[in-house]
Amino acid sequence: MTNFLKIVLNQNRIFGLDILRAAAILFVMINHTNNFMLRNIDFYAKMVYDGVGIFFVLSGFLIGRILIMQLETYKCNMKNLLHFWMKRWSRTLPNYFLFLFLLIIIEYITNQNFNLKSYLPYFFFSQNLTQKPIDFYTHSWSLSIEEWFYIIVPILLFFAIRVLSIRVKYAFISIIILIIISVSFLRLQKVQTINDYESFQNVLSSVLYRFDSLMYGLLGAYISYYHPKFWSKNKKIALIIALFLFVLYYLIDNKASFLVRNFVFTMTSVTVLLFLPYLGALKKNNSVLFKAITYISLISYSLYLVNSIVIHYIEECINWDKIIEIAKINYSLNIKWSFALLFNFFLSWLLSLVISILLYKYFEIPTTNYIRKKMANNKAVS
């Protein structure tokens, strides 16, 4: 059983970035499983942080580094652009479409009003361009934002470098500034017009209003590549500021105005950006903690896709009202709701983790390796 779930840890990984990735998915899990936690254990809910925001900045940083190195090393042409997209999609799309097809099949079987047209936007990542998606595959909203980032930013860079003849360095910083300012302005204008939480959720979960989050990661990639001495020299100062902003996040009232919550989006992105110089320099070790963090980091994408679905079907399939009633009438057992909640809580964590490990080991990695092996013969050349 141990070997069945065992994952080989790559020793070349950047441990500090694994810390961020593991923290991000754990914050997401805490947020999603909070409904199963006992109300008198309020510290659990108070631990929630914007895990998806961490993922956004981290993705922007990693993809930004790849783009910069590719554009500075190879020719900026359509062949290399397609190679970049294929490599990204070989990792993200198989899992995404696996669950999309599974959920559509389940909907077809269980929903009498099934209409395939309702789910077509999910095939083109257009389910949340300007508002949150329908009540289906809801956690895919963040994946849609990332996929549009993979598409739009390289195209803008290609246009700036090939058509406008702008140097890679200046093309990057120009696009970063342009998108951060424009999206921040649009979101601020939108937030000032809303007065209910549902409308705010549309802002929170849409491509248009959250696209800037990834640009802070891209900014980190730009600074670390073109100004490495500044990046390294100021890592401790950046860490101190990041820790201050991290604590400040928890001091802001979650019932604050939508204008304040809009500011928190930007603050979260800046916080993660400031963590990057220090964490990016952390070296690996062989401690149990290192292995645990790396393990969670590796399965984070699968875990993100799995956990909401597991939680949903635990709520749908386990009828505690009936279980409690049968136990009391037939067996004179008095099952408390606190037990029911904790059972669902631990079951959701257990199933999410086990399924994610299996998905990562037996589907995500094999499909990624297969696609990239097929790409090897057409590898981009300088």
Place of tokens 């140097």: 167
User: Is the Cβ–Cβ distance between 287 and 242 less than 8 Å?
Assistant: no
User: Mean pLDDT over all residues of the chain?
Assistant: 91
Strands (E), the chain: none
> What is the pLDDT, as a whole number, of residue 380?
45
> Is residue 378 pLDDT above 70, yes or no?
no
> Is residue 62 pLDDT above 60, yes or no?
yes
Neighbours of 182 (CB within 10 A): 12
Is residue 42 classed as helix, strand or coil in its secondary structure? coil
> What is the pLDDT, as a whole number, of residue 260?
87
Which carries the bigger pLDDT value, residue 382 or residue 70?
Answer: 70
DSSP state of 318: -
Per residue in 158-191, pLDDT (tens digit) is 999 999 999 999 999 999 999 999 999 999 999 9
Structural tokens at position 339: 């037990």
**Cα angle, residue 374 at apex, residues 368 and 377 outer, rounded to 5°:** 135
User: Is the Cβ–Cβ distance between 84 and 71 less than 8 Å?
Assistant: no
Between CA 359 and CA 355 the distance in angstroms is: 6
DSSP state of 360: I
